[in-house]
Amino acid sequence: MRYIIYARKSSEGEDRQVQSIDDQINFLKKLAKEQNLEIVEIFSESKSAKKPGRPVFEEMLSFIQSKKATGILCWKLDRLSRNPKDNGDIQWFLQERIIEKIVTSDRNYLPEDNALVSAVEMGMANQYIRDLSKNVKRGIKSKLEKGVWPNYAPIGYLNRNKKIVVDKEKAKYIEKGFRLYSKGNISIEELTDLLFKEGFRSKAGNKYHKSKVDEILKKPFYYGVMLFNNEYYSGNHEPIISKELFDKVQVVLQGKNRSKRQKHFFAFRGLLKCEKCGCSLTATTKKGYNYYYCTNGKGNCEEHKRYLREEEIEKILADCLDKLEFNSEFVEIIYQSAKEKKDLDKTYTQDVLNTLKNRLNLVATKQERLLEGYCSKIISKDVYAQKIKDFQKEEADLKTQIKKIENKNLDETITLERKKKIFLKACYAKKEFLQAKKEKQTKTLQNLLWNVSIQNQELAKVSFKPEFQVIANEPNKHDFCKLR
C-alpha cells in the first residue's frame, strides 16, 4: 500500500498549538519508517482548513483519486479538514474505498472505522473540541487577568470596540442607587420604584425588576472588581462607585436579610400542586418546621392528611433540576462552535456585501459622470432625466439589500447569545437553587419550572418552562450535535 504525507499549518491563531510543517513532516516520515509504510509523495500547505479551496489539498485528492496512493499520513485528523465540503470529499473517498487508511500520530483509521466516520462527519470535531475548549478557557482567563471583562457589560456600562465603557446615562442611577441604599432606610422595592420614576429603564423602556436592582447592589464590578466563576479579578474599567460605598451597602444588605428571615416565609408555596385533586399545596409551621399539604379545596382528597417537610420538598425540587444539569464548559464549546460556523457563513455574507457595496460606489460614480455630461451639454435633458432615475432606483435597491443583510447578521448573533444564556442558566440551576436563600429559591424555581405536582409524598409530575423543557427532554446531554 502506498501512502502520501499531508501536512498543514495556517498562520491563524487557532494553529498556534500545532507543530510547524517541517516538524509534522519529519515526525510522519519517522512514523512511516517505524511502521514500514511506503511514502510516494509529500503535500504541504500553509492555509486554513476552515474554508474550502486549498490548492494543495485539491491536488492531493486528485493524486489519490488517480490511485497513485491509497493511504494518508497526517499529524492529526484536524489537519485534513475543518469544513463541510472537504469533509464530504474525504467521506466519499472513504466510502468508495479510494482512501483505505489514514494514519495519524495518535492512531490509525480504517474506512469501516466508526470513529473516523463520525469524526469526519463532525468536522474533525474531537480534536477540534479539545483544542477549542482549551483555547476558550485560556482566552477567558487571560482576558480576566489583563483586567478585561470577557462578557457583556453589566447595566451601567456598554461594550464599545472590545472595551467596557461607562454608560453615562445609566451610571448616574447606579451611583444614586448605591448612595441611597447605603443609608439603610429604604427597601429595595422602594429604591426600584424611585429609580424608575427618575428614568432608570431597560432598553425596551421597562422598569427593572427589584431582583435586578438587588443584583446590581451586590456587584463589585461597579467599584472596579470583576467576579467570575467565584474568583475576583481587578478590572480595567472605570469604576462608578467607591469601594467604601459598596462595602456600606453590603452591610445594609446583610442586616436586611437577617431580619427578613425571622418572618414566616414559605418558599415553595404556590409552586406545588396536588396530583390527586389539582389543588395547590399550602404550608404551615409546627414546632419550628415548615410543612406542606394539599388545601383540599374540593373536599374529598386523602392527600390532605399527608404532610411533607420543607426539607423533603427542597430535595424533590433539587432532583427535578438534575434534569437540566450538564457541563457549563460544554455550553461554551457549543457556543463557540456555533459562532465559528456563523463566522464561516459570515465570510460568504461579507463577500456578498462587498459586491453590493462596490456596485453602490459604481452607481454613484456613474451618476456623477452623467451629471458632468449633462452640464457640459453632451447629454440631453431627457436622457439625463431618464438615466438618473434608473440610477437612483438602483441605488435605493442596493441600499435596502445591504441593510437587510446587515440586520439579518445582527439578528442571528442576538439569537445565539440568547440561546447561550438559556443553556448557562440551565447548567447552574441546581447549584443556584441549593445555594440560594429561601427568597431567591422561589424566584429561581419560578423562572425554570412550570408545574410540579406531588402525590404520596413524592414527586408525581414536573414540567419546565418551554425553553428549559427542551433541555430536560434531552437524555444524553453530551451529544454535541443534538444540543447544537
State the residues that interact with Zn ion by CB under 5 A. Answer: 274, 276-277, 279, 294, 301, 303
C-beta of residue 65 within 8 angstroms of C-beta of residue 89: no
Nearer residue to Zn ion within complex by CB, 274 or 308: 274
- Give rounded-to-5 percent helix, strand, coil for the chain: 55, 15, 30
Nearer residue to Zn ion within complex by CB, 255 or 278: 278
Nearer residue to Zn ion within complex by CB, 101 or 276: 276
- The span from the CA of 359 to the CA of 367, in Å, is 12
Rounded to the nearest whole angstrom, what is the least distance from the CB of residue 297 to Zn ion in the complex? Answer: 8
Rounded to the nearest whole angstrom, what is the least distance from the CB of residue 281 to Zn ion in the complex? Answer: 8
Nearer residue to Zn ion within complex by CB, 20 or 451: 451
Who contacts 219 (Cβ-Cβ below 8 Å, separation ≥6)? 154, 227
Rounded to the nearest whole angstrom, what is the least distance from the CB of residue 205 to Zn ion in the complex? Answer: 43
C-beta of residue 283 within 8 angstroms of C-beta of residue 292: yes
Rounded to the nearest whole angstrom, what is the least distance from the CB of residue 455 to Zn ion in the complex? Answer: 8
Question: Letter for the amino acid at 1?
Answer: M
Rounded to the nearest whole angstrom, what is the least distance from the CB of residue 271 to Zn ion in the complex? Answer: 15
Closest CA to 449 of 471, 464, 433: 464
Nearer residue to Zn ion within complex by CB, 116 or 274: 274
The order of strands in the sheet holding 308-309 is 281-286, 289-294, 308-309
Rounded to the nearest whole angstrom, what is the least distance from the CB of residue 279 to Zn ion in the complex? Answer: 5
Closest CA to 15 of 131, 124, 102: 131
Torsion of CA 345, 351, 352, 353, to 10 degrees: 100
- The span from the CA of 191 to the CA of 179, in Å, is 11
- The span from the CA of 325 to the CA of 246, in Å, is 33
DSSP characters over 328-369:
HHHHHHHHHHHHHHHHHHHHHHHHHHHHHHHHHHHHHHHHHH
Nearer residue to Zn ion within complex by CB, 10 or 296: 296
Rounded to the nearest whole angstrom, what is the least distance from the CB of residue 457 to Zn ion in the complex? Answer: 12
Nearer residue to Zn ion within complex by CB, 72 or 272: 272
Nearer residue to Zn ion within complex by CB, 133 or 453: 453
Rounded to the nearest whole angstrom, what is the least distance from the CB of residue 145 to Zn ion in the complex? Answer: 56
Q: Are strands 108-109 and 101-103 parallel, antiparallel or unpaired?
A: antiparallel
